[in-house]
């Protein structure tokens, strides 16, 4: 248990130093981290009650300055600021994307690009790969996550992948 606390401490400190977290955009550690990172940090060994407490603590403490107000963060613009899904100034709202992935789908690797039925193109932004049962035109959901990242869920796959919009 002590080793697990030592492994989790750097993670908590990194999250505490990170940017602003809004309650409506909060996501659990399971959603923020790949399964491999979640396990490597030892968080899979926590009881459901401990994990719930940790997520609740993060929700209430991360991004809060000593005054109790949300911590200020400089806006980051990497792509066109007026187009949805690209990294944008933090004061612009980010919303969940729902679409379909046309054609046959059976997994991804760190170079995969996803061309969605809605015309958007997203690319894997982490070094991971995953295989799943081949499906035709699966439904996808892309949710905004902590620190400007996006997490894609693909119908029929038991894992999610961090992505960024490229077109």
* pLDDT of 141: 95
Q: Determine, yes or no, domain membership for 88.
A: no
Last residue of a domain, one of 42, 61, 80: 61
Asked if residue 128 is part of any domain, the answer here is yes
Residues 102 and 146 in one domain: yes
pLDDT tens string 50-108: 877 787 777 766 544 434 444 444 444 444 444 555 555 555 678 899 999 999 999 99
Q: Is the dihedral of CA 153, 158, 162, 165 positive or negative?
A: negative
> CB-side exposure of 97: number of CA atoms within 13 Å?
26
Q: Are residues 56 and 104 in the same domain?
A: no
Reading phi first (left if > 0) and then psi (alpha if -120 to 50, else beta), residue 103 is in left
In order of 27, 44, 54, 148, the CA distances from 10 in angstroms are 19, 16, 14, 20
Question: Does 73 map to a domain?
Answer: no
For residues 51 and 101, membership in a common domain is answered with no
Domain of residue 128 covers 97-165
DSSP assignments along 57-101, one per residue: HHHHHTTB-TTSSBPP------S-TTSTTS---TTS----EEEE-
Domain count, the chain: 2
Q: What is the pLDDT of residue 71?
A: 43
Asked, for residue 41, whether it belongs to a domain, the answer is yes
Is-contact 120 99, C-beta < 8 A?
yes
Residue 91: inside a domain, yes or no?
A: no
Domain assignment of residue 39, yes or no = yes
111 and 161, same domain (yes or no): yes
Q: Would you call 166 helix, strand, or coil by DSSP?
A: coil
Report pTM.
Answer: 0.48
Distance CA 88, CA 125 (A): 16
102 and 42 housed in the same domain: no
Q: Would 134 be classed as within a structural domain?
A: yes
CA torsion sign, 101 to 28 to 162 to 39?
Answer: negative
- Please say if the pLDDT value at position 121 is more than 80: yes
């Amino acid at each position: 248990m002590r080793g697990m606390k030592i492994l989790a401490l750097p993670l908590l400190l990194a999250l505490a130093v990170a940017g602003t977290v809004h309650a409506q955009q909060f996501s659990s550690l399971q959603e923020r981290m790949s399964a491999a990172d979640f396990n490597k940090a030892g968080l899979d060994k926590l009881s459901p009650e401990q994990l719930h407490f940790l997520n609740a603590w993060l929700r209430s403490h991360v991004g809060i300055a000593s005054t109790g107000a949300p911590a200020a963060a400089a806006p980051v613009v990497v792509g066109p600021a007026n187009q949805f899904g690209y990294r944008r100034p933090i004061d612009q709202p980010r919303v969940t994307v729902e679409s379909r992935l046309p054609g046959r789908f059976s997994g991804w690797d760190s170079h995969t690009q996803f061309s969605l039925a809605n015309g958007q193109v997203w690319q894997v932004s982490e070094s991971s790969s995953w295989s799943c049962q081949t499906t035709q035109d699966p439904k996808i959901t892309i949710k905004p996550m902590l620190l400007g990242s996006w997490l894609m869920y693909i119908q029929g796959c038991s894992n999610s992948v961090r992505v960024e919009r490229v077109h």
